């Protein structure tokens, strides 16, 4: 056998071995990367589902608080009567607010009122079992400011509950009892949570105790499906329910197709062109995968979901890159959604206290110019809630927010602190006269009648004003001083404004 033939044969063998080595190394790394990305995506879904569940509990807690911290409820628990029940505890209340049962306990922890809603008959029935009240330590008289929210098990049913002390509308004690609202965590409720989360989840049976303390668990069922499990504990810290999410392993399957195509390409090119075409393979295939790997590694290490992999070509590798980019876009959108939930009020969509404090912190760090901090509190808002109901009050808050936003200029900010309290930051004013013009405009805008549920509703506003840097440079201090000025305006007759005085 001639030397040239031996060199050719050995070169071919070495090249094939090299190509197979590259294939197995890169293929193994990619398979691990695909699995890691799928697991990250599933963990993101589980965290999103958990956030939706917690938000549902929070909404239940806010609804419970509206009833618990109310003078009418306070009077009812001391002197129970049918008038309060006929006005506030009707089947429509349960259906509208998605509540399945209500329990009122007096200071002696005796049940004053306990009803559950039957969605079939659309009537209220006596609550069947109350043993869970003591099992989950809800029979204890709570202090003002204390609350308990979470899951309970009653027989074979699972409920989300919120328990809060019964106080006056000012949220002052002493507590006269405990109010408990609950709604069933069943397949119908999970479908509602799934709709909010944007993907399908299912309710499983009671989970078994596990040494794994994490409530988030991901496992690969097979090469076609991946499953995520969210374990929800009850108020005693015991596993009570399991929410499952199952997805197709699209990234993994695309990756397997790309790896298989890569192998065929390597074999064909290696058999036909040997070393001469190796560099072409490096340009057409290997370099693209290496770039994809490096980009994926960079994205994973830097946690920059805005970055994208290079998606060129219409082959399997290009398709895989597009799938990864699609997944990154979904994760980025979810991250932005969480950011908006963190910085904006869910009812009025106005900036919340967290965004306000960031803005104030930026203003005080720049140490440039003057800013007016206006603390706004609606006059007569409680009477509207008591007269027309909390739904009407919520609609009024939304309309007030929209009307005031029309008065803002670029650089100004209007935030909702909670309830009927708002904060406004005004920076575009040259002197006190111009500032007062803006304040009067806000008062006029809020005092306009607002149509809510086919009726004209009117509120006024009391405003307290502190000035940066005249009244201080600490954000919390400026808000506190504006709050004090607002209370002086209220005491002076309401529908007024007042500046913080040294």
Residue 319 CA to residue 333 CA, distance in Å, equals 21
Beta strands in 221-282 (DSSP E): 225-233, 239-248
How many other C-beta atoms lie within 10 A of the C-beta of residue 210? 10
Distances (CA, A) of 489 to 17, 240, 419: 85, 51, 19
Residue 261 CA to residue 366 CA, distance in Å, equals 57
- Give residue for tokens 């049913």: 157
For the annotated catalytic residues, the residue numbers are 420
SS3 144: coil
Question: Hey, which residues does 378 pair with through a beta bridge?
Answer: 461
SS3 411: coil
Which residues, 6+ apart, have CB-to-CB distance to 477 below 8 Å?
471
How many other C-beta atoms lie within 10 A of the C-beta of residue 125? 11
Strand order in the sheet with 216-220: 202-204, 239-248, 225-233, 216-220
Residue 297 corresponds to which tokens in the numbers above? 């590694």
Residue 419 CA to residue 414 CA, distance in Å, equals 15
Residue 180 CA to residue 148 CA, distance in Å, equals 9
Query: What number of residues does the chain have?
Result: 502
Residue 68 CA to residue 74 CA, distance in Å, equals 8
Torsion angles phi and psi, residue 411, rounded to 5? 100, -15
Residue 356 CA to residue 415 CA, distance in Å, equals 7
Angle between helices 3-68 and 187-197 (to 10 degrees): 120
- Give residue for tokens 């890169």: 26
How many other C-beta atoms lie within 10 A of the C-beta of residue 160? 25
Question: What is the torsion angle, in degrees rounded to the nearest 10, for the CA atoms of residue 121, residue 126, residue 129 and residue 130?
Answer: 140
Identify the helix (H) or strand (E) that includes residue 154: strand 148-154
């Amino acid at each position: 056998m001639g030397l040239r033939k031996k060199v050719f044969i050995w070169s071919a063998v070495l090249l094939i071995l090299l190509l197979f080595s590259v294939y197995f190394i890169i293929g193994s790394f990619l398979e691990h990367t695909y699995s890691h990305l799928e697991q990250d995506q599933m963990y993101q879904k589980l965290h999103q589902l958990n956030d939706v569940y917690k938000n549902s509990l929070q909404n239940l807690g806010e609804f419970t608080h509206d009833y618990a911290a109310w003078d009418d409820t306070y009077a009812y628990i001391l002197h129970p009567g049918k008038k309060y029940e006929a006005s506030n505890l009707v089947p429509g209340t349960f259906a509208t607010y998605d509540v399945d049962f209500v329990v009122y306990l007096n200071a002696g922890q005796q049940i004053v009122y306990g009803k559950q809603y039957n969605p079939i008959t659309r009537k209220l029935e006596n609550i069947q079992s109350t043993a869970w009240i003591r099992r989950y330590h809800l029979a204890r008289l709570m202090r003002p400011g204390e609350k308990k929210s979470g899951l309970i098990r009653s027989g074979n049913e699972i409920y989300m509950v919120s328990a809060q002390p019964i106080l006056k509308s000012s949220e002052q004690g002493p507590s006269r009892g405990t109010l408990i609202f609950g709604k069933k965590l069943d397949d119908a409720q999970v479908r509602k949570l799934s709709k909010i989360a944007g993907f399908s989840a299912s309710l499983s049976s009671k989970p078994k105790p596990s040494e794994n303390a994490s409530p988030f668990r991901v496992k690969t069922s097979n090469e076609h499906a991946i499953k995520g499990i969210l374990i929800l504990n009850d108020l005693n810290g015991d596993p009570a329910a399991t929410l499952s999410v199952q997805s197709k392993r699209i990234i993994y399957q695309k990756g397997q197709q790309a790896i298989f195509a890569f192998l065929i390409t390597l074999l064909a090119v290696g058999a036909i062109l040997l070393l001469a075409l190796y560099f072409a393979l490096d340009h057409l295939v290997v370099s693209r995968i290496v770039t994809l790997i490096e980009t994926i590694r960079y994205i994973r290490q830097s946690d920059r979901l805005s970055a994208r992999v290079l998606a060129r070509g219409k082959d399997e590798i290009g398709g895989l890159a597009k799938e990864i980019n699609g997944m990154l876009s979904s994760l980025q959108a979810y991250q932005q959604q969480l950011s908006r939930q963190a910085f904006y009020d869910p009812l009025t969509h106005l900036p919340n206290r967290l965004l306000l404090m960031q803005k104030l912190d930026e203003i005080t760090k720049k140490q440039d110019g003057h800013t007016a901090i206006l603390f706004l509190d609606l006059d007569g808002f409680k009477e509207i809630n008591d007269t027309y109901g909390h739904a009407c009050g919520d609609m009024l808050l939304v309309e007030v927010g929209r009307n005031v936003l029309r008065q803002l200029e670029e650089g100004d900010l209007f935030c909702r602190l909670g309830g009927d309290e708002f904060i406004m930051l005004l920076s575009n004013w040259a002197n006190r006269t111009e500032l007062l013009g803006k304040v009067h405009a806000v008062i006029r805008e809020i005092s306009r009648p607002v149509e809510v549920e086919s009726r004209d509703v009117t509120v006024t506003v009391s405003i307290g004003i502190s000035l940066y840097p005249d009244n201080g440079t600490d954000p919390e201090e400026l808000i506190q001083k504006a709050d004090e000025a607002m209370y002086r305006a209220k005491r002076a007759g309401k529908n007024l404004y007042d500046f913080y005085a040294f």
